Amino acid sequence: MGRANKVVLAYSGGVDTSVCIPYLKHEYGVQEVITFAADLGQGDELEPIRLKALKAGATKSLVNDLIKPFIEEFAFPAIQANALYEGKYPLSTALARPLIARRLVEIAKELGADAVAHGCTGKGNDQVRFDVAIGALAPELKVLTPAREWGMSRIEAIAYGERFGIPAPVSKSTPYSIDLNLLGRSIEAGPLEDPMVPPPEEVFTMTSSIDHAPDEYEDIEITFDYGNPISINGISLNPSSLMKEANFIAGKHGFGRLDIIENRVVGIKSREIYETPGLLLLIKAHQELESLTLAADVLKVKSQLEMQWADLVYQGLWFSPLKEAIDSFIHTTQQYVNGTVIMRLQKGNARVIGRSSSSNSLYSPDMATYGKTDQFKHVAAEGFIYIWGLPARIWASKNK
């Protein structure tokens, strides 16, 4: 990608991104490396991470709190889209990448950098998400990818870092690769690479095991306005607080664990473990409210676009014309998605037990009832059935 004088590096504080700092300077000839770490609600203390980057040779180390835009601009649209990649994964990790990329580009422009960089390897999805998003937002910026190019093993990367004063991890490294934010956790690698090995309980932190979850069920009432969750059990909450509360309640009951074989963008299959208790609960409740408030043909088209939306986000195409067009369709539908859903949580399960919408419900008791108040015009059914079945009868008369 050529040489650059000033680079903004997406920084996590781990071995790879720390080693990227001296590597960019000594192998790429970069004069200034500015690191950027995003607070996405992962719960880590980010000041030590900021200081670690400076000790590793960064000219400047920035930390930004992006929790509010993460939930409002990325998580809530995913809920409105009922976004589940391959019908399973709620995109907790994928949703964070375009936000980080957007902020990287903003910082690069603010500080006059001529390149951005990340520490993603050549096997994962994140390299695609960062490269494509940055290219869509600022095609004039170079994208430097040292970890994709250096060919070092983890032991070699640690040794390289030690040459420049970056200490090796003081404790035995976990065999797992873990990504964490407010929407959930992804866990892979180590023993999990064998699809037949059950995930050990130690990999889970957001959700209780079925054995330790409460025996008694708990009902949770979730209210939506314009397709966005606004309250839990009648208590209005800001977006980030609502997500935390949903995580806590669902996680307490062991809901939100996923163990899936996933098709990566780069063409390989990978075994992934996810914990997404709150996001999965809110999507499930939102789907149910839509079944009450959206017309059948709208639901059918939307379900098709939802799969496309999830694919686009997973594949790194958040900033793309097709996603923008689908967003417009979804946004139009959400004006009718207002109401409340009651979910019953127990021992790893979440099932709908009630739903209502005082202003937008298309469910008509007088039409649906079999009682005396029935207003459905039964006599009209005969003519409807005759017309509906006419093509089949014509075909049968000619071919049988």
Asked whether residue 315 is domain-assigned, the answer is yes
Domain identity same for 211 and 290:
yes
Would you say residue 37 lies in a domain? Answer: yes
Query: Range of 255's domain?
Result: 177-356
Active-site residues: which are they? 16, 97, 126, 177
Tens of pLDDT, residues 337-372: 999 999 999 999 999 999 999 999 998 887 777 877
Predicted confidence (pLDDT) per residue in 5-15, tens digit: 999 999 988 88
pLDDT tens digits, residue range 191-203?
999 999 999 999 9
- The confidence band for 2, taking pLDDT boundaries of 50, 70 and 90, is low
- What is the reported pLDDT for 1? 46
In this structure, are 136 and 250 located in the same domain? no
- Residues 152 and 199 reside in one and the same domain: no
> Mean pLDDT across the stretch 227-248?
97
**What CATH number corresponds to the domain at position 20?**
3.40.50.620
In whole angstroms, give the CA distance from residue 128 to residue 144: 13
Q: How far apart are the C-alpha atoms of 89 and 18, rounded to whole Å?
A: 30
Same domain? For 287 and 308 the reply is yes
> Would residue 172 count as lying in a domain?
no
Cα 22–Cα 25–Cα 29 angle in degrees, nearest 5 = 155
Q: Are residues 125 and 219 in the same domain?
A: no
Instruction: Write down the pLDDT at residue 51.
Output: 93
- pLDDT computed for residue 371 by the predictor: 79
Q: 205 and 96 in one domain?
A: no
| Residue 128 pLDDT | 95
Spatial CB neighbours of 3, under 8 Å, sequence gap ≥ 6: 28, 29, 30
Distant-in-sequence, close-in-space partners of 365: CB < 8 Å, separation ≥ 6: 373
Of the chain, the percentage scoring pLDDT greater than 90 comes to: 82
Nearest to 165 by CA among 58, 27, 8, 63: 58
Which among 352, 356, 347 is positioned nearest to 250, based on CA atoms? 347
Q: Residue 170: inside a domain, yes or no?
A: no
- Give per-residue pLDDT as tens, 331-345: 999 999 999 999 999
Contacts of 129 (CB under 8 A, 6+ apart): 94, 97, 98, 101, 315, 316, 318
Distance between the two ends of the chain, CA-based, in angstroms? 68
Q: Of 128, 163, 198, which closes a domain? A: 163
Q: Are residues 110 and 141 both part of a single domain?
A: yes
Number of independent structural domains in the chain:
3
% of residues, the chain, pLDDT over 70: 98
Query: How do residues 163-201 score in pLDDT, each as one tens digit?
Result: 988 887 755 567 888 899 999 999 998 899 999 999 999
324 and 197 in a single domain? The answer is: yes
Read out DSSP for 332-379? HHGGG--EEEEEEEETTEEEEEEEE-TTT----HHHH--STT----TT
236 and 378 co-located in one domain: no
Stretch 84-112: mean pLDDT:
96
**Statement: the pTM of the whole predicted model exceeds 0.75:** yes
| 118 sits in which H/E element | none
- Helix, strand, or coil here: 297? helix
Is residue 121 very low, low, confident or very high in pLDDT (cuts 50, 70, 90)?
A: confident
Would residue 55 count as lying in a domain?
yes
Q: Are residues 315 and 388 in the same domain?
A: no
pLDDT in tens, 8-34: 999 988 888 999 999 999 999 999 999
Query: How many residues are given for the chain?
Result: 400
Quote the tokens at residue 343: 């979910």
Residue 183 burial (CB < 10 Å; 0-12/13-18/19+)?
buried
